[in-house]
A and B are shown apart, each in its own frame.
Chain A
């Protein structure tokens, strides 16, 4: 374990930025935290979390995949990917770090998504323990401990210090680069903080939420539950919940006619949209109830069924705070699990 004073944080960030692009949450012009590229003087946000999740670094909202150029009867396929370069993301919370495991299982399983894989290879994740969890946080329902976030490096912020702990080779290498600006220390202060955070977690309003009623094998039991109608009654079919979610992974691939060729790009898609996975006969989920059900069944049943019981929600609470009608996965879990008030 190493540490530096908070006063010296800017120079530590500067040192990292010498080696690679560094991103960290800063307060935007509207006061909400957003991951931005570090520049001299960038101030780390005090916010618990960003509205947009860090999945954007590995799975951007929209990206060009390739270009096609036709000349006579020949079609030339051009790889238009920019060279990937190393980058680091600082301040990732435990829930969001976990979301990368969930995305990895989708994108890195054969056939591996080389676009995603290259960014994962080049990215260094520096996580940050949560000292003031929000009422909307329920990571613990998924076995995540916010006091001890994973990642290549885990950081812990106390009143005056930042503590750094490397967990992987990539992390070791980066800590080496900032060695001169940090000093070796014991983990006493960090352990003390961990205990405090764990005590707070017990007091959170969603502390008792459980996943007992969900998981692989529950499809028949849950699919036709009458509660879906009521739960989805007011859903607008917007994409807010899916777009702010760190684990939502669906995308669409489209061709854009440039006039003298075609650019093939991919962009996020949302199961909440009426034209999602549209086929020749239309969308097989004809009403919003079915689209709504898909999102939650995917996270709570289908994904764990195919991934050794791992749920594809990390309890970050973004959909709780951003859904325009305040409907969300917690209300779904409580209602279907028989715990709603």
Chain B
């Protein structure tokens, strides 16, 4: 259950549309079964009342949409941001990817988002609706006479289980508390992989990445991937490819992408959320974050606008190349 209700959000958005503060609202639109929610632009009150939704399945992070919507929509855009979304918002501003003047950001508290695949692992196929308004999820299935009660904590998405922060780091207005940075266990899984032998580690990634179908959803949803034309789509780059040529090539795609977003990835978790093949892409990105934290001191991309990532900022305290080499040796 979310602390703030859909009605409260609709009311606030309608008021801002009415008084002319904003012309459009970037929000979540109702689907067929309560869990299949689509990002949408609402430009009048009636579409908000008819279609706007806010529940435990509103995982989509709107920050990246601002890059295109600020260009194509006339007037000001209201965007609703969950705490983790605000980090992407700041990072995009740091990279000058959208016009802050065109945006009115409302921070909304988040109790964590549910993963429909986890719900289905408990309830099976056949879900016709899910009521998110109580303490627990109430799942109606065509195969059951009465609704199944599911603990929200049992079906949270990975990124919400390991939520790094409930703090809103960017907003024009807050509905609810500003929130706090949390102590999360998000690096535990990375530490486990570090503890593997090189062969085990290779086998782990081989098993995960060999499932990749190169649909590019991870890249296309990623707020750190905002190149106008990605090298992997650009015939002139020489590495353009629509399908993995072989299993090694597939790893290259992911490793190159992880390098490219290193220092800019806020760990928003969108890549892992959307992957149709359930590949734990966040582990690659978190390895980079953990590595940077250990080598250069704690750094959180998107915490403030304009901050420099350790990879683009030289200080006298920086690690010497030799020390980096030694670390690599220990890890091997």
Contacts and interface: CB of A to CB of B under 8 A. Distances in A.
Interface of A: 28-32, 34, 48, 51-52, 61-62, 132-136, 200, 203-206, 230, 233-234, 236-240, 243-244, 252, 256, 265, 267-270, 273-275, 278, 320-322, 324-328, 330-331, 341
B278 A30 contact: yes
B207 A29 contact: yes
A134 to B, nearest CB: 4
Interface stretch (B174-182, B214-222, B308-316): B214-222
Given A205-B128, A327-B38, A267 B242 contact: yes
A337 to B, nearest CB: 14
B40 A243 contact: no
Contact of B233 (A203, A268, A275, A321): A275
Contacts of A206: 32
Interface in B234-285: 235, 240-245, 273-274, 276-278
Contacts of B211: 28, 30, 34
Nearest to A30: B278
A331 B38 CA distance: 10
A324 B33 CA distance: 15
B39 interface: yes
A330 B32 contact: yes
A136 B142 CA distance: 12
B213 interface: yes
Contacts of A31: 121, 278
Given A51-B277, A327-B38, A135 B221 contact: no
Contact of B32 (A51, A274, A331): A331
10 contacts: A205-B128, A238-B220, A239-B217, A240-B274, A267-B242, A270-B215, A273-B242, A320-B32, A324-B220, A330-B32
A241 to B, nearest CB: 8
A244 B274 CA distance: 13
B243 A268 contact: yes
B17 interface: no
Contacts of A233: 39-41
A214 B255 CA distance: 44
A243 B216 CA distance: 10
A278 to B, nearest CB: 7
Given A234-B39, A240-B217, 9 more contacts: A32-B278, A133-B125, A133-B126, A134-B126, A135-B126, A206-B32, A267-B242, A324-B274, A341-B32
B245 A256 contact: yes
Contacts of A237: 220
Nearest to A234: B39
B71 to A, nearest CB: 12
Contact of B242 (A269, A326, A330): A269
Interface residues of B, number: 45
B208 to A, nearest CB: 8
B198 interface: no
B30 interface: yes
Given A205-B142, A325-B39, A327-B38, A135 B127 contact: yes
B247 to A, nearest CB: 11
Given A238-B221, A243-B215, A134 B125 contact: yes
Given A51-B276, A330-B32, A324 B217 contact: yes
Given A205-B128, A233-B40, A62 B142 contact: no
Nearest to A229: B41
Contacts of A324: 217, 220-221, 273-274
A70 B137 CA distance: 65
B65 interface: yes
Nearest to A327: B38
B217 A238 contact: yes
B25 interface: no
Nearest to B57: A326
Contact of A244 (B216, B221, B276): B276
B75 interface: no
B242 A268 contact: yes
B37 interface: yes
B33 A135 contact: yes
A238 B125 contact: no
Contacts of B202: none
A326 B217 contact: no
A31 B276 CA distance: 13
B124 interface: yes
B31 A132 contact: no
Given A203-B142, A278-B235, A236 B125 contact: no
A244 B276 CA distance: 9
B32 A205 contact: yes
Contact of A267 (B31, B142, B243): B243
B213 A52 contact: yes
A320 B127 CA distance: 13
Contacts of A132: 124-126, 143
B217 A135 contact: no
A278 B216 CA distance: 18
A326 B181 CA distance: 30
